[in-house]
Amino acid sequence: MRRDAFVHTAHPARVLFGRGQVDQLPAELDRMGLSRVVVICTPGQEALADAIATLCGHRAHSTYPHATMHVPSSVTTAAEQHLAKHRIDGAVAVGGGSSIGLGKALALTTELPLLAIPTTYAGSEMTPIWGITSDGEKTTGRDVRVLPHTVLYDPDLTLTLPTSTSVSSGMNALAHAAEALYAPDRSPITDMMAGEAARALTSALPAVAANPADHSARTDLLYGAWLAGACLGATTMSLHHKLCHVIGGTLDLPHAEVHAVVLPHVLAYNLAGPTHAADALSQALDASNPVEYIYSLNTRLGSATSLQELGMAREDIESVVSRTTANPYSNPRPVTAEAIRAIVSDAFDGSSPRAHSTESAAAITVVA
Ligand code: NAD
Q: Answer whether residue 366 shows pLDDT above 70.
A: no
Nearest to 179 by CA among 342, 9, 333, 337: 333
pLDDT tier, 205 (very low <50, low <70, confident <90, very high otherwise): very high
Choose the residue to mutate in 104, 124, 167, 179 for probing ligand 1, maximizing ligand atoms within 8 Å of C-beta.
Answer: 124
- pLDDT of 246 above 70: yes
Cα of 120 from ligand 1 centre, angstroms: 6
Q: Which CA distances in Å does 80 have to 68, 103, 108, 132? A: 15, 10, 11, 13
Q: Calculate what percentage of the chain has a pLDDT beyond 70.
A: 97
The pLDDT, as a whole number, for residue 50 is: 98
Distance 346 CA to ligand 1 centre (A): 26
Separation CA 11–CA 151 (nearest Å): 12
CATH number of the 163-349 domain: 1.20.1090.10
**Ligand 1 neighbour 235 (Cβ under 6 A):** no
Q: Are strands 129-134 and 137-142 parallel, antiparallel or unpaired?
A: antiparallel
Domain ranges (residues) in the chain: 14-158, 163-349
Identify whether the C-beta of residue 256 lies closer than 8 Å to the C-beta of residue 95: no
CA 296, distance to chain mean position in Å, is 21
Q: What is the CATH number of domain 14-158?
A: 3.40.50.1970
169 alpha carbon to ligand 1 midpoint, in Å? 8
Q: Please state, in angstroms and rounded to a whole number, the distance separating the CA atoms of residues 5 and 103.
A: 36
365: pLDDT strictly greater than 70: no
What local confidence, expressed as pLDDT, does residue 12 receive? 82
Task: Give tens-digit pLDDT for 67-97.
Answer: 999 999 999 999 999 999 999 999 999 999 9
- Assess whether pLDDT exceeds 90 at residue 13: no
Q: Is the CB of 305 under 6 A from ligand 1?
A: no
Three-class DSSP category at 119 = coil
Sign of CA dihedral 131, 113, 237, 218: negative
When mean pLDDT is compared over 188-197, 271-280, 354-363, the highest value belongs to: 188-197
Note the pTM of the prediction, 2 decimals. 0.96
Q: Are the CB atoms for 131 and 109 separated by under 8 Å?
A: no
In which band, very low, low, confident or very high, does the pLDDT at 363 lie, cut at 50, 70 and 90?
very low
Mutate to test the pocket of ligand 1, among 98, 139, 221, 263 (most ligand atoms within 8 A of CB): 98
pLDDT, residue 358, reads 82
